[in-house]
């Protein structure tokens, strides 16, 4: 069993950081292949994929800034069509938890919102490629570059 399979073995709900979704939709190279493998493994194991509504803005920002409507449409489809991913709303409770997490762990605000969203959605694990996102006692943080 690979490290990834070991890490996902007991996971029922997997939180995807925005950077993972970006690699999945428009990435290339190693990051793209790893995210495809992770999402395929999650789907095969009936693991529920979760992210924050914040991810919509983070993922659309680059393509819209660069005038890439075709890429933006792929992101919209991923987030809004069908039952691919569960989106956690950015409600006041999530935002207050995020502020507490950010101040306690010195995370950036967006990272704190993602961690708080994962906690609110009862996720078992959180996958990211953010090297600055340190371990969180609240979640099993899986770094893409480590699997």
Backbone angles phi, psi at 51, to 5 degrees: -155, 175
In angstroms, the CA 74 to CA 1 distance is 33
State the pLDDT confidence band at 128, using cuts at 50, 70 and 90: very high
Q: What are phi and psi of 50, to 5 degrees?
A: -135, 145
Confidence of residue 136 (pLDDT cuts 50, 70, 90): low
CB 83 within 8 A of CB 65: no
The reported pLDDT for the residue numbered 135 is: 63
| Length of the chain in terms of residues written | 147
Distances in whole angstroms, Cα of residue 135 to Cα of each of 5, 61, 111: 20, 27, 12
The CATH number of 3-88+123-146 is which of 3.40.50, 2.60.40, 3.30.1370, 3.30.70? 3.40.50
Residues 90-99 pLDDT 10s: 999 999 999 9
pLDDT at position 137 over 70: no
Can you tell me the distance from the alpha carbon of 51 to that of 29, in angstroms, rounded to the nearest whole number? 23
């Amino acid at each position: 069993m690979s490290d990834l399979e070991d890490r996902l073995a007991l996971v029922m709900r997997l939180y995807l950081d925005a950077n993972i979704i970006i690699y999945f939709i428009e990435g290339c190279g190693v990051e793209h292949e790893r995210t495809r493998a992770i999402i395929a493994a999650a789907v095969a194991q009936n693991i529920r994929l979760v992210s924050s509504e914040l991810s919509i803005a983070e993922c659309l920002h680059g393509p819209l800034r660069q005038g890439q409507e075709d890429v933006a449409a792929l992101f919209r489809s991923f987030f809004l069509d069908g039952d691919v991913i569960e989106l956690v709303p950015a409600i006041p409770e999530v935002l207050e938890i995020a502020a507490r997490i950010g101040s306690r762990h010195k995370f950036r605000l967006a990272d704190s919102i993602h961690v708080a969203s994962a906690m609110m959605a009862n996720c078992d694990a959180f996958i990211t490629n953010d090297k600055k996102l340190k371990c969180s006692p609240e979640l099993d943080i899986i770094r893409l570059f480590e699997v």
